[in-house]
Structure 1
Amino acid sequence: MDKDKRPEVTLRAMEPEDLDVLYHVENDNSMWNISTSNVPYSRYALHNYIADAKNDIYVDGQVRLMIEKENGKVVGVIDLVNFDPKHHRAELGIIIMDKFRRRGYAHAAVTKLISYAHNMLQLSQIYAIVDVENKVCYQCLTSLGFAGDSILHDWLYCNGSYHDAIVLQFFIEKQ
């Protein structure tokens, strides 16, 4: 996608109004093969999650942000999890809702998240664990400067079989 034609996105904290979006995303079992979740979440549990989240990576050990396009419509969710304050790194997670995929929203959101991670959180590294069959995600992240060749054999179990995963790293201070 042409750099000038990439969509503008905003990353913002979760609000109670995001409950329906989170409910949809967390309960979409087609996404479970790319996450560590394999159980549905109730509205009650997600309501409490939104209410209890401090949006402070040092308190929660993670930060989850909603991805909004220009008109304020939520197109996905992006988070930093497995935060390691000693080593200044965290794992990237991102979900773009079906109807907004392949339009540049993931690229724009990860770009914003890298800036946030560097300027506000002082992280030196973000990493992602990607199914080797997820070519779209791999291409998006490598186009942003993520790199890696470490294969985690039989790392992900989905649809009755194991899949290899690749660890991709982005070293913020080297960019």
Structure 2
Amino acid sequence: MQHLESKNIVLRPLEPSDIINLLKWENDPENWVLGIRTTPYSRHSLEKYILNSENDFWEVKQIRFAITQKSDGLCIGLIDIFDARPLHLRAEVGILIDPKFRGNGFAFQSLQIIQKWASNYAMLKSLSANVFSENTASCGAFVKAGFKKSGILKSWFKTPMGWKDVTILQWQSSIF
């Protein structure tokens, strides 16, 4: 999988053995505010999701990769491409790094890999991300990977801690 790796990490398809991490990350209420989910997933529904993740990207218009350490294969996070729009050759990207592994450049490396995959294999021209403006580490990883700040959506997400602004970040492939 040389095309899906960097110096320290490998992006790989989800495997049934990822169920424990998926349950932990998807059912963490702190992560719910990042999406539209407000209730936990069952083990059964996540197992079905993993089994169905073999579908082609353009068929389901999304893909999720496990982010693993190259040294030991440990799954340390997830990176998603979703809401793909074939007509416009664009999609959104989301990333989650387990809190124990944050601050090591794994998000940046994952973004670099996914940008190459998006350009060379999915033939996407543009990726965008909506990141809580206060999450400076995440915004920084996107900017370091070549994403440009395109705007701010004020009071865009309602959370238990109050309304959150979102920074819109966009990357455009140089091959289109």
The TM-score, its normalising length taken from structure 1, stands at: 0.92
Equivalent in the alignment of 1:124: 125
Query: Given residue 35 of structure 2, which amino acid in structure 1 is its aligned partner?
Result: S
> Helix, strand or coil for the counterpart of 2:128?
strand
**How many angstroms apart in 1 are the aligned matches of 2:144 and 2:55?**
28
- 1:115 is paired with a residue whose SS is helix
The equivalent of 1:87 in structure 2 is 88
The answer for the alignment partner of 2:39 in structure 1 is: 39
Q: Report if the CA contact (8 A) 1:7-1:104 is conserved.
A: no
| Equivalent residues of 1:53, 1:60 under 8 A apart | no
2:142 corresponds to: 141
Please list, as runs of the form range in 1=range in 2, the aligned pairs for 1:53-68 lying within 5 A after superposition.
Answer: 53-68=53-68
Match of 2:9 in 1: 9
Find the residue that maps to 2:131 and give its secondary structure. strand
117-126 or 154-163, which moves further after superposition?
154-163
What is residue 107 of structure 2 aligned with on the other side? 106
Q: Are the counterparts in 1 of residues 150 and 170 from structure 2 also a CA contact under 8 Å?
A: no
**CA drift at 1:7:** 5.1
Q: Give the drift of 1:33.
A: 2.2
3-state DSSP class of the match of 1:173? coil
Q: In 2, are the aligned partners of 1:54 and 1:60 still within 8 Å (CA)?
A: no
Alignment correspondent of 2:29: 29
Q: Which runs of 5+ in 1 are unaligned?
A: 1-5
**1:149 Cα deviation from its structure 2 partner:** 3.5
How many angstroms does 1:55 deviate by?
4.0
Query: What are the superposed Cα offsets for residues 8-63 of structure 1, whole Å, 9 maximum, x if unpaired?
Result: 21111111111111111101111122222221101011011111223421111100
In 1, the alpha carbon distance for the partners of 2:63 and 2:150 equals 27
* Partner of residue 50, structure 2: 50
Amino acid at match of 2:121: M
Show structure 2 runs of 5+ residues with no match.
1-5
Q: CA RMSD in A?
A: 1.6
Post-superposition shift, 1:128? 0.2
Per-residue CA distance 1:130-172 (angstroms, 9 max, x = gap): 1111111111111111112411121111115211111100011
CA contact (8 A) 1:7 1:69 kept: no
Moved over 3 A (4+): none
Give the TM-score normalised by structure 2. Answer: 0.91
Deviates more, 1:30-39 or 1:94-103: 30-39
- Amino acid across the alignment from 1:89: R
Give, in whole Å, the separation in 1 of the partners of 2:164 and 2:61.
Answer: 27
The one-character-per-residue Cα deviations of 1:93-152 (angstroms, maximum 9, x if unpaired) are: 110001111111111111111111111001000000011111111111111111124111
- State percent identity of aligned pairs: 32
Aligned partner of 2:103: which letter? R
Q: Which residue of 2 aligns with 1:3?
A: none
Moved more, 53-62 or 112-121: 53-62
Q: Which moved more, 1:145-154 or 1:74-83?
A: 145-154
